[in-house]
């Protein structure tokens, strides 16, 4: 199954460090960030999971839940959590999926169908494509995807910025320009014609080009 932006995020039932979990039920009517890593007890991922734990409250403010995944069993995740807290100073405070049968990794197109049906004997290199970020909206659609090599730590501040941009688009029909930060001007999407834009943005906008309509970021 190929997963792309706009695809429906596959539903699943799994074991996690916080007990059995049905993904759609766990999400509820909010947003979710599903991020995966190739293997427990690896250096770059240790830094990432600890940093992400420090951002849980920021994601929660944006009605977003965080969930991690690797193909290691839950019991191993629990042991690794101690190392993460020791190294990074943050206790992992979100569920970590034990995808030991590779089910979710395959559902989300991170591993091929012929990868087998068990994590037994697999190395981090075997799982190197299991290193992604999926931002999923309340409609259960994939809003954004990021893929990284094993050697490059992900920028989860950027994931937070990306989430904010996706949420603005969903709520206000605006896009965000290059290097946009929260509170800065945004762009009215082309699908919104001028008549509708006048109703949505009565204070008007700037148009340096006919197809580029810049407007102050809408207030929630």
pLDDT tens-digit readout, 114-124: 888 888 888 89
Helices (H), the chain: 23-27, 43-54, 56-61, 74-88, 103-107, 156-172, 194-200
| Beta-sheet strand order (sheet of 186-188) | 174-175, 186-188, 212-215, 206-209
13-153: CATH topology: Glutaredoxin (3.40.30)
CATH homologous superfamily of 173-215 equals Antioxidant, Horf6; Chain A, domain2 (3.30.1020.10)
Instruction: Give the dihedral of Cα atoms 182, 187, 191, 194; nearest 10 deg.
Output: 130
Whole-number percent of the chain with pLDDT over 70: 100
- The residue ranges of the chain whose pLDDT is under 50 are none
pLDDT of residue 119: 86
pLDDT of residue 1: 65
Q: Catalogue the active-site residues.
A: 45
Domain boundaries, the chain: 13-153, 173-215
Query: Measured between alpha carbons, how far is 38 from 132 in angstroms, rounded to an integer?
Result: 9
Query: Measured between alpha carbons, how far is 173 from 61 in angstroms, rounded to an integer?
Result: 21
Strand 31-36 relative to strand 132-136, pairing: antiparallel
CB contact set of 111 (below 8 Å; sequence gap of 6+): 102, 105, 127, 129, 130
- Confidence (pTM): 0.94
């Amino acid at each position: 199954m190929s997963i792309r932006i706009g695809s429906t995020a596959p539903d699943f039932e799994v074991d996690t460090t916080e007990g059995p979990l049905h993904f759609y039920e766990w999400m509820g009517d909010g947003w979710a960030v599903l991020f995966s890593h190739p293997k427990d007890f690896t250096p770059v991922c240790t830094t990432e999971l600890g940093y992400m734990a420090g951002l849980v409250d920021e994601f929660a403010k944006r009605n977003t839940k965080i969930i991690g995944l690797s193909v290691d069993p839950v019991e191993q995740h629990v042991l690794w959590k101690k190392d993460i807290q020791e190294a990074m100073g943050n206790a992992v405070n979100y569920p970590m999926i034990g995808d030991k049968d590779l089910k979710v990794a395959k559902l989300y197109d991170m591993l091929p169908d012929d990868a087998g049906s068990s994590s037994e004997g697999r190395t981090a290199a075997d799982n190197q494509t299991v290193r992604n970020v999926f931002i999923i909206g309340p409609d259960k659609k994939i809003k954004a995807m990021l893929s990284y090599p094993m050697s490059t730590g992900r920028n989860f501040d950027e994931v937070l910025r990306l989430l904010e941009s996706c949420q603005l688009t969903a709520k206000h029909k605006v896009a965000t320009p290059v290097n946009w930060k929260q509170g800065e001007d945004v762009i009215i999407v082309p699908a919104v014609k001028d008549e509708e834009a006048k109703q949505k943005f009565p204070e008007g906008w700037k148009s340096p080009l006919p197809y580029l309509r810049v407007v102050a970021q809408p207030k929630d």
